[in-house]
Structure formats: structure tokens, C-alpha cells
Structure 1
């Protein structure tokens, strides 16, 4: 493990990056509004904490000036970075990561609703556990049911079954998938140290660790960049599932998004297994 002490130049605050490409306007505004509420709650306990949000526009961002105005009124600095085209998810976040000087950095999807006290609880956890470098929260679906987005190392069969088979056939592999998704470990109550892989929809880093990792590997356009970053993070710090940090995720799988996403998924899977090792069955 490396020292996770942040460089002296860092402000001690929190930065957030959100990458968007033709976003759902309602979902994005909801994400930013809930983020603003969580930032406001955090400020009650850390009044001098600097908070900066960077929205990286990969294309198709509509007018969100009203929401930005609300965030600014809450004392949250907001910046929109655009004009670079659709460079992909990881490279988009890297545009923000290379600019930050915060103590903590949150990588956030534009379809995540953060609970009011989530940021406060997460940063308190960091204060209490100096060996923790990356936090993943309890992630629920729209009905509030737990999504099992912590993963063990995948095989090709796991990915194919989970992503592309109809539910009635997928149920035949239930035991296998529940192991891959860590159902035996992840729950609503217990902190879990060192899950191998966590979801990129919400990754809260100590910035010192994120800078050490140089952000996302830019070779992934979409999919598996979070798998890659998770595995590399374990080399230098501990990754933690913290169930009392809670968010809601409105996202979906690659197979439900059409042939282009399936093609990107397959290309990224090939790069991932080439780097970390192939497991078939």
C-alpha cells in the first residue's frame, strides 16, 4: 500500500465529474439536484469545504443553466467542459481528473440519485479509515431493491449469461451469477473490504490514489473501464463497500441498448481480458 496522504497543493475539498452524451434531461437534472442537496448537507458539517462539479459534455447536452444556478447558489462551483466530441466515458472523466486539486473526487453517472447524507457519511468513513482509498455505496434500483454491482473477476460465460441471455434461460445459471455478483457477501448492513470490482456509476476516491492511477485507461471507449480501474486500485489502497452510503441507479445493461452497445461491450471485454487474463468458464 502507498501513503494516501494528499499533496499539499490540494484544497481539502471535494470534486465531482459527470460525463454526459445525449443525456436524458430529466434524469440529469434530478442527479444534479440531489447532488446539490447532498453537498448542502455536507457543508453543514464541513462549512469550509470547497466543492466543485465538472460536467463533461461529450455531445448533446441541453440547457441546464437553471440547475447550475441552483448549485451555484448553494456555493458549489460548476464548470461545463465541452467541444471535444464524444471521446468515451473514461477519457471524458480524465479531462476532469487532470484538472482537479481536491482531496476527494467522485466519479458519478448522470443517472444516479444520491441520498442527502451520502457524501457526509462517505467522507466520515474516509476520516475513520485512512487505509481506504476508494468507496462504493449501496446501490439500489428505482424500486429501492439492492443492485449487486460489486463483482468477482468475471469469466466470459458470466458476462454472456448476465448480459445477453433471456431471463428464463439466465435463471438456469442463477447459482453461478449470484457468486459472480457477490450475493454471499454484499448486503444492506455490513461493510465489505476489498471487493475485486466495483461499479463506475459511483466511485469516490481519495484524489491522491486517483492521480496515482492516472484515472481511467483511455483505451476503453465504453464498458469495462471501471473493472480495469477497480483492479488497479487494489495495488495501492483498499476498496470498500459501505452500505450506509446510499444511492439509486437508473441505468441498464448493454444488451438492452442495441447492436452498437453490444459491439462496444465486446471490444472492451477483449481489451480487459487481454490485459488481466482470460477466464472462459
Structure 2
């Protein structure tokens, strides 16, 4: 995706940079894995410590959105440590399981920061992740969303930036066994942008970014009204990514790094498969069907 910016677009991009006050983070949980959640909170604290070393004042607010199952989970010591590090926190609860996107929206609508991080409770961010993300945003006023380099537990890149998916791409990647999926390696590699995503190069305007770890300018996120609440789970990040291109540029920045302990819908049971298919219909009905 190539964009040409005229003077009015340049002025608009400069206005995106006008507000750089502070950082908010939203983290939606549902029956969380306590160990992974505490790892996520610890990594956030370390990354924020590094950020404060490089900036005079960066007030930070963490919103933990409890969609269910957090009550009775003991993460008090992790939250106390974050408070000592300067990260205020608020637990939003009592609304029930309203879905991933709507959960994040509860935090986004409260955010008054310059930057907002959408974070999964299974992300272990690098200590320099926030420093590198915010430095990049400050250097590139036209960018409204930074998507990081994500790796798995074996330190292999997870290719989570995507081109626009065909129905066949989603079926092959999500539901076919590995032995058969290898027959489609070429087309899946294109869908996953394996030809351009690497450890070194910034990639401009990947069409789709993963919702497991997104770093936004809050003013862009507010103008987009956050996630589309019609998605309960799956494809809300695809939708938000495509809409973000209407207001700002998107950049894959490999200097921003994290480990993701995630899994696919097909490996999570029939309920997740049904939610995946339902969200896929909503996505294609909005943005257009592309079969093969």
C-alpha cells in the first residue's frame, strides 16, 4: 500500500503529533491464566521503567477489564509493584463477558493520554518496547498505529501482519492439518507478508495488524471510536486496522518486540470456531468478500 501526502495531509499528520501526554494501557481478561497475566504485568512494569528513564514525565494508567473470572485471582502483588513503578491501575468489572473489542472500548473511552496500548494478557513485551514504539511515533507524525515484531516461545517470528484475507486463506490457515497446509505454503506466505516482514526493516502500511499488541495514538483511536462492538471475538483487530488507514499510516516496527503465548481458534474448541465464523461473516459483509 503506497500513500502520497499533499500539504493538507502533512498538516493533518502533524496534528496527530500534537498530543503526547502520557500512556494508557487496556488489558481485557476472561478466566485468565494467572502465570501468564503476571508475566504480562511484570513486562509492562519493566518496559515502563525503561520509558521513564528516557522521558521527563510519562503518567501511565492501566485499565484491567474483567470480562469474567478475575475475581478471586490474586494479582495484588503485581499491581502493587506497578503502583510503586508509577503505573496507576483501575479494574473495570461488573459488566459481564461483553467481548474483546467492547471490553477494550470501556478503557479507550476513559483514556485521556497521548498514546494507548492494546494488550493481551499473554504478551511478554521487551523492556525497550515502549521506548522504541513511542520514539518511532514521535519521529513520524503521520503514523497512528505501530505494530510490533511478535515471536513465539521458540523465538520464531509470528507473522501477524496480514494482507487482506481470502476465505480460502482463512480456512487453510485456521482449520487444515499441518501436513495439508504445507501444500498452500506459497499463498499463506503472501497472506502473512513473509516476503517483507523480518527482524530489520520497517514495513509501511501493512493492511492488517494483530490486536494482541497495538500501540496507538489515542487521538486516532478515539476518532475511530475504538473497536467495532459488533464483533464479540475475532476479526475486531482486522476491522480496526483497515479503518485506521483512513486516518493515519500504520507501521510494522521490528525494534518493538514481544513474545506472544497465543493459539488459533480451531485449537480452542467448537465454541471458538463458531465465533470465528460469525465474525468472519461480519468482516466480509463490511469490507467485501474475496474467496480465492
TM class, shorter-length: over 0.9
2:55 paired with 1:51? no
Instruction: Write out aligned runs for 1:95-110 (5 A).
Output: 95-110=106-121
Match of 2:275 in 1: 264
2:265 paired with 1:254? yes
Cα offsets for 1:41-83 (capped at 9, x unmatched): 1011113110111000000011211100000010111111001
Cα offsets for 1:18-57 (capped at 9, x unmatched): 0000010000000000100000110111131101110000
2:50 paired with 1:41? yes
Q: Distance in 2 between matches of 1:71 and 1:193?
A: 33
Once the two structures are TM-superposed, the CA of residue 217 in structure 1 deviates from its matched residue by 0.2
Conservation of the 8 A alpha-carbon contact between 1:228 and 1:272? yes
Conservation of the 8 A alpha-carbon contact between 1:5 and 1:208? no
When residues 80 and 6 of structure 1 are mapped into structure 2, their CA distance, relative to the original with a 3 A threshold, is farther
The unaligned stretches of length 5 or more in structure 2 are 1-8
2:94 paired with 1:83? yes
Once the two structures are TM-superposed, the CA of residue 218 in structure 1 deviates from its matched residue by 0.2
Cα offsets for 1:201-246 (capped at 9, x unmatched): 0110001100010000000000000000000000110000000111
Q: Distance in 2 between matches of 1:140 and 1:132?
A: 23
Conservation of the 8 A alpha-carbon contact between 2:16 and 2:144? no
Conservation of the 8 A alpha-carbon contact between 2:17 and 2:141? no
Once the two structures are TM-superposed, the CA of residue 5 in structure 1 deviates from its matched residue by 3.0
Conservation of the 8 A alpha-carbon contact between 1:38 and 1:117? yes
When residues 196 and 7 of structure 1 are mapped into structure 2, their CA distance, relative to the original with a 3 A threshold, is closer
The unaligned stretches of length 5 or more in structure 1 are none
Conservation of the 8 A alpha-carbon contact between 1:6 and 1:207? no
